[in-house]
């Protein structure tokens, strides 16, 4: 049936949009933007038709949710950082068929999941930022998965990721990329120190542990990383409690995954948080 063609962990920092604009930060995120361009280019070469994005900027308090409306179009301003993202226009096609296939598979695994295709839900910037740079011409359809899971178990997010893989390979007729859109450590800089930490990590401990995590990824030490993941998500302020990463690894096989990641954009600091673009090779 269908094929999972590419998998990646990606940044979505709003300073990428700020980097486009005239001003003191113009060009500051060129490397991250180019990383998105490269991932988008590879998806095109592989014949991908849809990006499934695990978006840690979509907060949900109960159940799992997919935004798979047929079409999305609006002008977006971030309520979190309106001085970073303001009036970002977007127009993207959705994939209701794939969204419902994923929800059906997840529910069959015991994970309460809803696919929303008849909805006024817009897209959050964890989806909008990568779509801006990977699909500015509406080349790819998109299914956005709520990844900021406020009262959920990482095990259920693993199963949700497994359901995505099953839906792609057993039900869907096409090629799909999955993108975990979120940071590593995510301790935002205190407001008074925001400018000082615009391009830095909040603490030496968080930076050091993030580098340790990236080393595990590059070496393919998934058993160790997954065993550490629950504490890492808490003690290192994992964005969205790292549910996007649990979904990604669930898609790839969890502790049975053997891949060694390819770094597309090297680790960097942004407003205190740790960021990266990394492709997770498929078996």
Residue 172 structure tokens: 């869907």
pLDDT at 142: 98
Q: Residue written as tokens 């598979």?
A: 105
pLDDT at 283: 75
Please write the tens of the pLDDT for every residue from 42-68: 999 999 999 999 999 999 999 999 999
Q: How far is CA 247 from CA 9, 163, 254, in A?
A: 11, 9, 9
Q: Residue written as tokens 């998806």?
A: 43
pLDDT at 1: 84
- The answer to whether the CB of 269 falls within 8 A of the CB of 197 is yes
pLDDT at 188: 87
CATH topology for 3-279? Protocatechuate 4,5-dioxygenase; Chain B (3.40.830)
Residue 82 structure tokens: 């309106």
Average pLDDT in the chain = 97
pLDDT at 265: 98
Given a cut of 80, is residue 102 above it in pLDDT?
yes
Alpha-carbon distance of 189 to 62, in angstroms, equals 29
Helices (H) and strands (E) in the chain, counts: 8, 10
Alpha-carbon distance of 5 to 140, in angstroms, equals 13
Alpha-carbon distance of 163 to 103, in angstroms, equals 8
**Mean pLDDT value of segment 222-232:** 98
pLDDT at 267: 98
Please write the tens of the pLDDT for every residue from 180-222: 999 999 998 999 998 998 999 999 999 999 999 999 999 999 9
Residue 90 structure tokens: 């977007």
**Mean pLDDT value of segment 231-251:** 97
Domain ranges in the chain?
A: 3-279
End-to-end CA distance of the chain: 17
Given a cut of 90, is residue 124 above it in pLDDT?
yes
**Mean pLDDT value of segment 151-163:** 98
Report the share of the chain in percent with pLDDT over 70. Answer: 100
**Mean pLDDT value of segment 5-13:** 98
């Amino acid at each position: 049936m269908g094929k999972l063609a590419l998998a990646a962990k990606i940044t979505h920092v709003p300073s990428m949009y700020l980097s486009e604009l005239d001003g003191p930060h113009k060009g500051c995120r060129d490397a991250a933007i180019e990383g998105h361009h490269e991932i988008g280019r590879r998806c095109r070469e592989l014949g991908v038709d849809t990006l499934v994005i695990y978006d840690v900027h979509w907060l949900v308090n109960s159940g799992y949710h997919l935004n798979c409306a047929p079409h999305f179009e609006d002008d977006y301003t971030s309520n979190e950082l309106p001085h970073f993202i303001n009036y970002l226009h977007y127009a993207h096609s959705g994939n209701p068929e794939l969204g419902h296939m994923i929800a059906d598979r997840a529910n069959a695994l015991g994970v309460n999941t809803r696919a929303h295709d008849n909805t006024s839900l817009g897209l959050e910037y964890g989806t909008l930022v990568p779509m801006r740079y990977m699909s500015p011409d509406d080349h790819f359809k998109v299914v956005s998965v709520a990844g900021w899971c406020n009262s959920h178990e990482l095990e259920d997010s693993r199963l949700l990721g497994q359901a995505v893989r099953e839906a792609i390979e057993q039900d869907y007729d096409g090629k799909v990329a999955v993108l975990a859109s979120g940071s590593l450590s995510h301790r935002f800089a205190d407001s008074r120190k925001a400018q000082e930490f615009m391009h830095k990590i909040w603490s030496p401990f968080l930076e050091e542990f993030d580098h340790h995590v990236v080393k595990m990824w590059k070496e393919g030490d998934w058993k160790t990383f997954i065993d550490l993941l629950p504490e890492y998500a808490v003690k290192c302020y994992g964005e969205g409690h790292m549910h996007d990463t649990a979904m990604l690894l669930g898609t790839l096989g969890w502790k049975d995954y053997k891949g060694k990641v390819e770094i597309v954009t090297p680790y960097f600091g942004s407003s205190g948080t740790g960021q990266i673009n990394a492709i997770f090779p498929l078996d």
